Chains A and B, each alone.
Chain A
Amino acid sequence: MENKIIEKDFGDLALNMGPQHPSTHGVFRLKLHLEGERINHVESYLGYLHRGVEKLSENLDYDMIPPVLERDDYLSPTSNSLGFINTIEEMCNIEVPERASYLRVLIAEMQRISSHLVALGTYGLDLGGALGGGASLFLYCFREREKILDVLETITGTRFHTNMNQVGGVRYDVNEESLKKTHELIEYLKPKLTEYFDVISNDEIFMQRTKNIGVISKDLVLSSGGSGPVARGSGINYDIRKNNSYEVYDNFSFEIPMGSNGDSYDRTIVRMKETLESIKIIEQVLSSLPEGALCSRKPLKSAKLLKPPKGSHYKAIESPRGELGFFIVSDGSSMPYRMKIRAPSFSNLSIVEKLLPGTYIADAVVILGSLDPVFGDVDR
């Protein structure tokens, strides 16, 4: 057979980046049409990590869904179950004890820090390679993340998919030992994160690689539904923790870091500042943790099956990557009729096709990394 390659007139060379490529942060395929080193046209292909979470949930009781959902965005498992549970609680009008809500916030913010640390560490690898400065950043970030996971283990028994939240409250309580460990963690993390922030935000090489690279305008963010650090990096003040508060975020004082240019540098800096704000929130949780019940329902084995009234409901929370929304249609039975997850990574990633043309291959990696997509979240 003749080996003929048919190419549209997009450029000299069509280069497949992925699905097995070190810098696509998972299984993502970018087809780059190049002219020399300049990218002329981009096609993106998704779905390599599609696990059918939405369809799977249609055959599960409402109380069985959160553990499955935690595998969705695997870098911040708690926020998935938190979003789902918040939606169900609003549908069924279930009250949550205040202590439970505080504990949910505690876990969610700890995982926000760990998720941002992973984003920063892998971004270092994208910029620097395995032996360069990037690897140092990667290893330092993962070292601190390991400390967070250790504390999560003492609280919930699991390092990663904590399974902390359940409809009506939380599963595990904190005790003196775990509170002490959390205090120690905060004392340890604060100087470290501040140091990394100081080093990176003033680093000449880092600035040259990221400043004015991948500039996302406000209009582009709004038209493609970008949220989270991507939107805030472009100067859009949108954080659901403040704008449409859920749980007990109203009780805490924290700031929302903002960028101005919308380039890769701003997005990274926003993420780093957010970790420092998360530490503030955790400190406030620890100092004002109220006493009380853990869950307003009976233990799961003896509790009645949840049957939300007929109808549909949408609720979104702020995951580390942005607006994570759940749209649930109930037909009155114990399983959802349809569940749609509005994944923040998916909307953020949709900007890539418009952003890449006109840049160089080296910048493509930098831009993709700065959007911080998680492919469990994109493909669901």
Chain B
Amino acid sequence: MGIFIEFALPIFKTISILILIVAYLVWLERKVAAKMQSRIGPYLVGKPHGLLQPLADALKLMLKDDSSPKNSDRLLFNFGPIWVMVVSLASFALLPFIFDNQMINTNLALMLFIAISSLIIVGIFIAGWSSNNKFALISVIRIIAQIISYEIPLIITLLVPCIIMGSLGFSEIISYQKNSWFIFYPIIGQITFIIFFISSLAEGNRIPFDLSEAESELVSGYTTEYSGIKFALFYLAEYVHLFGISVLGSIIF
């Protein structure tokens, strides 16, 4: 029992807070995009401003029929979304993102984070490959090329502050910035931040780097054949990963 509380409780706490944050970030994105395009956005579910919309979406996706295409590799097809979700959640064990919540504190945290989060691509690759769909296949080819090529500048920009601060551990990096953030470090700080920002957009597959999901050509990329809870896992994992990179950015800079 004691072990259970010691290990499971913080994990449960982190995951639930994380999913709540991500759900409402999606809601916020939809609202802001709507404002830019002179629309209203979600407003019906949960009267003031459609605040319950994320819950309704999640419920709808969970209740949907689970289907998989003919001739697909059933085992890998089911394994893909689980892998992506698990990996993107696992990377949060290292991030001190809320209430002092860092579960693992090592002085190799940054390196571990990069290593774990770059495993996401394996799940996406499995998903695209196993769904027996040419759109998904082309999307996966694109996404691998993109992520591999943008990961290099991302890691190099992360190394710059680490060399200056002399540590890879997040707590040391944070305490180093007690007086002034790294982004205010003359010249180097700004340049690295700009490169980091651009390549993190590419890492998270966001516009304008959404080649893998290019809606107009590839229908919806590697998630074309997914529906229901498996699609929800992909969707959530994408935003969790994005949130993770943003947290990393706010820690380093």
Within 105-138 of A, Cβ neighbours of B (below 8 Å) are at 125-132, 134-136
Give the residues in chain A near B71, CB-CB below 8 Å. 3
Interface residues on B, range: 20 to 34
Give the residues in chain B near A139, CB-CB below 8 Å. 37-39
* A301–B213 CA distance with the chains assembled, in angstroms: 57
Give the residues in chain B near A16, CB-CB below 8 Å. 134
Is B134 touching A362 in the complex (CB atoms < 8 A)? Answer: no
Is A125 touching B134 in the complex (CB atoms < 8 A)? Answer: no
Interface residue? A365 (CB, 8 A): yes
Among residues of B, the one whose C-beta sits closest to the C-beta of A205 is B208
Most buried by B among A126, A140, A362: A362
Interface residue? B100 (CB, 8 A): no
Most buried by A among B134, B215, B219: B215
* A37–B142 CA distance with the chains assembled, in angstroms: 9
* A54–B217 CA distance with the chains assembled, in angstroms: 33
* A130–B34 CA distance with the chains assembled, in angstroms: 11
Is B216 touching A15 in the complex (CB atoms < 8 A)? Answer: no
* A276–B36 CA distance with the chains assembled, in angstroms: 26
B42 to chain A, nearest CB (A): 14
Is B134 touching A129 in the complex (CB atoms < 8 A)? Answer: no
A147 to chain B, nearest CB (A): 13
Having A22-B215, A140-B37, one finds 7 other A-B pairs with CB under 8 Å, namely A129-B207, A130-B215, A135-B37, A136-B36, A205-B208, A361-B217, A362-B214
Interface residue? B165 (CB, 8 A): no
Interface residues on A, range: 20 to 34
Identify whether the interface residues of B are mostly helix, strand, loop, or mixed: helix
* A370–B27 CA distance with the chains assembled, in angstroms: 34
Is B37 touching A15 in the complex (CB atoms < 8 A)? Answer: no
B177 to chain A, nearest CB (A): 33
List 5 contacting pairs A-B, 8 Å CB cutoff, sorted by A: A126-B216, A127-B216, A129-B213, A132-B210, A361-B218
* A21–B214 CA distance with the chains assembled, in angstroms: 12
* CB-CB nearest 5 A-B residue pairs: A129-B215, A23-B216, A136-B37, A139-B37, A126-B216
Is B134 touching A143 in the complex (CB atoms < 8 A)? Answer: no
A123 to chain B, nearest CB (A): 10
Which residue of B38, B137, B207, B216 is within 8 Å of A125 (Cβ)? B216
CB within 8 Å for A23 and B217 given contacts A15-B134, A129-B207: yes
Proximity bits, A24-54, B CB within 8 Å = 1, else 0: 0000000000100100000000000000000
Interface residue? A221 (CB, 8 A): no
* A197–B35 CA distance with the chains assembled, in angstroms: 22
Is B38 touching A22 in the complex (CB atoms < 8 A)? Answer: no
Within 117-153 of B, Cβ neighbours of A (below 8 Å) are at 134-135, 137-138
Give the residues in chain B near A129, CB-CB below 8 Å. 207, 210, 213-216
* A127–B219 CA distance with the chains assembled, in angstroms: 13
Give the residues in chain A near B21, CB-CB below 8 Å. none
Give the residues in chain B near A21, CB-CB below 8 Å. 219
Q: Show the binding face of A for B, using Cβ within 8 Å.
A: 3, 13, 15-16, 21-23, 34, 37, 125-132, 134-136, 139-140, 143, 205, 361-362, 364-365
CB within 8 Å for A22 and B216 given contacts A3-B71, A140-B38: yes
A253 to chain B, nearest CB (A): 35
A18 to chain B, nearest CB (A): 11
Among residues of B, the one whose C-beta sits closest to the C-beta of A363 is B217
Is B217 touching A362 in the complex (CB atoms < 8 A)? Answer: yes
* A128–B207 CA distance with the chains assembled, in angstroms: 9
Interface residue? B33 (CB, 8 A): yes
Give the residues in chain A near B218, CB-CB below 8 Å. 361
Most buried by B among A3, A13, A16, A135: A135
* A126–B214 CA distance with the chains assembled, in angstroms: 9
* A139–B37 CA distance with the chains assembled, in angstroms: 7
Is B39 touching A37 in the complex (CB atoms < 8 A)? Answer: no
A189 to chain B, nearest CB (A): 16
Most buried by B among A22, A125, A134: A22
Proximity bits, B21-57, A CB within 8 Å = 1, else 0: 0000000000001001111000000000000000000
Give the residues in chain A near B33, CB-CB below 8 Å. 131, 135
Which residue of A3, A205, A365 is within 8 Å of B217 (Cβ)? A365
Most buried by A among B37, B210, B219: B37
